[in-house]
A and B are shown apart, each in its own frame.
Chain A
């Protein structure tokens, strides 16, 4: 009845009977999260740290085994840092900067990502998804000990939901039988196959890509490869139409073979057949252990609306992208970042429910951007027509000799956070000559300051950042944190926030996106922008 659908990597929240199961009438909770993948866990932690009681229900008892997300981008790590769990992730993750691109058996070119200076966190790390989830759960455990109202319930499968006028009724199945629950709000983080979406009869439209990819995680025995990313287009070893080699922690390598649409999965996954591909690629004398193999296919699609009354969708349940460009988990964590402060503000009565519509608005646009990017990568890697194939190879041929063609080579673009340009929450952009990258709607770029990195100082509440000036008197009574920083025009902080101007005041949202900026605002300028950023205008 409640069998695991996949094997566990770690059993971190074993089933335990809750008193809710013995209640005569369904117990009501402010927030129930359905699904304990990276996105559900991030939501639980974020809300719990804001002192909003959350109950997370997952139909398993911990992170599942297997190779899924591997690349976690800087914005994800910054959010994890705000939540207090980036340290162990970065310590454990693999950082790489050098990439090589091959076509047939020739090296087309190599690139060094040369990440920009002046950021606390790396541009991205390679870390296995189950480990990422474990670090978030470790942090949840620590927060619980410090009193954060978070409950994780393993082997609690949501079977049915019903919208109530002011909440949601849920039916939950456990190994000891079913029980009923109620929630003021439900966050659906139940993954791409989202049972919640189906229970509510909601669509999930998009494009299917007719190709399969075989993942083999291998541990080298004697040999080792450098910590680089290697991508082959049409390798002459023919083990895949394209092949990716990527490093994970503990000397494990991810190899990803594009193997075509009409494949016999059982046959392909037999060890001798997997080894045949690997040997063709590595050479027959290289010894390795197979750690994990699987085959995946993918689609790019999203829900039309991420909010349905009292139910909010986040992560893969709301949108699905191809793995090229690592935008799945990374964008899901940004959903959590965007949603949780808004939900907490609505629950606390500090903002109208309409603020939650801005979650849909902003994250739907972000999902479109992610789908666009990952679709473009996919079309380059697996061209859909003869002409597209010809141009792809023309780009690769030219890239070998001419620098101009290299930016056209698309083997997956690094996941970057969305700027919410048309968001209804954005206020004035009133600093002439200030940099584009920190315009209203942008995620704040990190920069070092005298008292530590900027993003650390921003934390997770509305903040007025005063650069080379003071906030107008009375502004400290608006309920925002005030952070004063001095900066020079040459320093990273000045370059990223002042541009050619001498001073500025930024209003920054709890998710560290810029809400408004001025050179010299009045108190009422600021309070108006604050009202707008809380969805009150």
Chain B
């Protein structure tokens, strides 16, 4: 494994069975209204953020998310 600072955000592939994970994520939203889904996503973000805990990683993730988007 390459050396990296402990608190760096992982942006290389890290999820086993990516297709399986992706369909699970989409299935979670099946049959929900846009608003419900958004609320669910908010809860999910908070759970994951707490799991990560490291403020530097969280900040890097927020930046990476903001930087990769396209205003629509």
Q: Which residues of A contact B (CB under 8 A)?
A: 390-391, 393-395, 397-398, 402, 404-405, 408
Chain B interface size, under 10 / 10 to 19 / 20 to 34 / 35 or more: under 10
Closest to A407 in B: B50
Asked if B38 and A390 sit within 8 Å, CB to CB, the answer is: yes
Asked if B46 and A395 sit within 8 Å, CB to CB, the answer is: yes
Q: Across the interface, which residues of B come within 8 angstroms of A397, CB to CB?
A: 39, 43
List 9 other contacts, CB 8 Å, given A402-B47, A404-B50: A390-B39, A391-B46, A393-B39, A394-B45, A394-B46, A395-B46, A404-B47, A405-B46, A405-B50
Q: Across the interface, which residues of B come within 8 angstroms of A394, CB to CB?
A: 39, 42-43, 45-46
Q: Across the interface, which residues of B come within 8 angstroms of A395, CB to CB?
A: 46
Count of A-B residue pairs with CB < 8 Å: 24
Q: Across the interface, which residues of B come within 8 angstroms of A390, CB to CB?
A: 38-39, 42
> Please, what's the 1-or-0 string for B5-44, where 1 marks a CB less than 8 Å from any CB in chain A?
0000000000000000000000000000000001100110
Closest to B44 in A: A394
What would be 17 A-B contacts, judged by CB atoms less than 8 Å apart?
A: A390-B39, A390-B42, A391-B42, A393-B39, A393-B42, A394-B39, A394-B42, A394-B43, A394-B45, A394-B46, A397-B39, A398-B43, A402-B47, A404-B47, A405-B46, A405-B50, A408-B46
Within the complex, what minimum Cβ distance (angstroms) separates A457 from chain B? 40
Assembled-state Cα–Cα distance A393/B43 (Å): 9
Q: Across the interface, which residues of A come within 8 angstroms of B45, CB to CB?
A: 394
Assembled-state Cα–Cα distance A310/B60 (Å): 48
Within the complex, what minimum Cβ distance (angstroms) separates A40 from chain B? 42
Closest to A391 in B: B42
Within the complex, what minimum Cβ distance (angstroms) separates B39 from chain A? 6
Q: Across the interface, which residues of B come within 8 angstroms of A405, CB to CB?
A: 46, 50
Within the complex, what minimum Cβ distance (angstroms) separates B72 from chain A? 16
Within the complex, what minimum Cβ distance (angstroms) separates A410 from chain B? 14
Q: Across the interface, which residues of A come within 8 angstroms of B46, CB to CB?
A: 391, 394-395, 398, 405, 408
Assembled-state Cα–Cα distance A408/B46 (Å): 10
Within the complex, what minimum Cβ distance (angstroms) separates A382 from chain B? 18
Asked if A398 and B47 sit within 8 Å, CB to CB, the answer is: yes
Assembled-state Cα–Cα distance A402/B50 (Å): 11
Assembled-state Cα–Cα distance A79/B51 (Å): 41
Assembled-state Cα–Cα distance A408/B49 (Å): 12
Q: Across the interface, which residues of B come within 8 angstroms of A391, CB to CB?
A: 42, 46
Assembled-state Cα–Cα distance A398/B39 (Å): 11
